[in-house]
Amino acid sequence: MTTLVGLDLAGRRVVVVGAGPVGVRRARRFVEDGAHVVLVDPEPSAEARRVASHGDVSLLARAVEEPDLHGAWLVVAATSDAGLNARVAAWCEAHRTWCVNASEGASGSARVAASSTHGDLRVGVVNQGPPDPRRAAAVRDAVGRYIESGQVDLRRHRAGEGRVVLVGSGPGAAGLVTTAGREALATADVVVTDRLGATWLLEQLPEDVEVVDVGKSPTNHPVPQEEINRILVEHAAAGRTVVRFKGGDPYVFGRGGEEVHACRAAGIPVEVVPGITSAFSVPALAGIPVTQRGVATSVLVTSGHAGADPATTGALAAGATVVLLMAVSSLPQICAAALADGVDPDLPVAAIEKGSTALERVTRATVSTAAAVMADAGVRPPAIVVLGRVAAEGFLDDPVCRTPERGGAGDP
């Protein structure tokens, strides 16, 4: 009978005997756990030497000796010599040191679980009978996929320290929410949500999860940012896990920095789960690459709230792509300023409404016609506006998109 136990190896000596593929893989895992790893092999592989050269692992390029195991909390015998592995396991048994025998699990006193990490949880699978690593890995992967789907309630059942997690939920499409974001949402006692992004996920939460809607629209800001900060801190201070659920990425015009600062100032633990920003993903899904070798080698992402910013017209004049967020109402002024600064009036403009969703709509114009075309089409937020040659309809079918000659213009 095997008892599954979690070992805290941080700061503790772990010896891995055998520097082949298995030994190096085990060494890397223990380094990730914070262990002081010693790798022993008379003929270490090139990969083992490379890992040791980074300072993460101490490498002894010689045959293992019993004194090498002194002070070790865990030993892994991972050589290609079953007899040597058994001898190392016997030394460990005499010293009462846990030992994993990679070639013959029955003679070792420990086994390394096939594991996956999900936030602050680690799930492991161990064979009770003879070792069968592929079987254990298959079960681990199946369990991991189930957890990552967001269908498992990961909330704490014991009282603990409150915390805040800022989660970027991407532009809204189901497949563009990161697994880390879905797992964080499954840990939430309270969700403080915007109106954009993958808000449909909130319908899958348990009924007793408190959802606080603080969403803004262009003309309606019912909950000021200072009040949002207070809500986050207040719930976390009461010992709750608070997920701040935001569209796109928290740090791309999402005021995530302000919310992190407020939490840190109040002594609240806070972390950020990045999201896929709509500035790049929405144009990509609409067939618009924001950069293209030989055409647009830089991109400026800015907010429409900045209005006719000289940086925007300067970037357009330099041939960069400009991506505007929250710019539907200010687009006429931005285009007028660009024309006044000498930007080509025929430069393409594309507005993508409700990007990544089933209601996505792309409206195309030029800098000189954008104000009238967008008004006639009734373009409304949320929309991403792209200005630049890459925004032309059928751009990816244009011969200009072929691979430039080496060293050609715009070759990065």
Residue 15 main-chain phi, psi, to 5 deg: -110, 130
Contacts (Cβ under 8 Å, ≥6 apart) of 387:
316, 321, 322, 324, 338, 347, 348, 349, 367
As a CATH number, domain 163-276 is: 3.40.1010.10
With a cut of 80, say whether residue 185 has pLDDT above it. yes
Give me the count of residues in the chain. 412
Tell me the mean pLDDT in the region 373-385.
95
- 250-308: pLDDT as tens digits: 999 999 999 999 999 999 999 999 999 999 999 999 999 999 999 999 999 999 888 88
pLDDT at site 326? 93
Tell me the mean pLDDT in the region 18-38.
92
Which of the listed CATH numbers 3.30.420.10, 3.30.565.10, 3.40.710.10, 3.40.50.720 matches domain 13-112?
Answer: 3.40.50.720
With a cut of 80, say whether residue 104 has pLDDT above it. no
Query: Hey, CA dihedral for 94, 95, 98, 104, is it positive or negative?
Result: negative
Cα angle 233, 237, 239; round to 5: 130
**CATH topology (fold) of 280-397:** 3.30.950
Identify the CA nearest to 102 among candidates 177, 191, 27, 180. Answer: 27
User: Which pTM value belongs to this model?
Assistant: 0.77
Q: Which helix (H) or strand (E) holds 90?
A: helix 82-95
User: Are 302 and 311 in contact, with CB atoms under 8 Å apart?
Assistant: yes
Tell me the mean pLDDT in the region 209-226.
82
Residue type, 373: V
Tell me the mean pLDDT in the region 117-130.
84
pLDDT at site 67? 96
Identify the CA nearest to 73 among candidates 131, 24, 14. Answer: 14
164 pLDDT band (50/70/90 cuts)? very high
Which residues are known catalytic residues?
194, 216
Q: Which residues pair with 56 in a beta bridge?
A: none
The domain segmentation of the chain, as residue ranges, is 13-112, 163-276, 280-397
pLDDT at site 116? 87
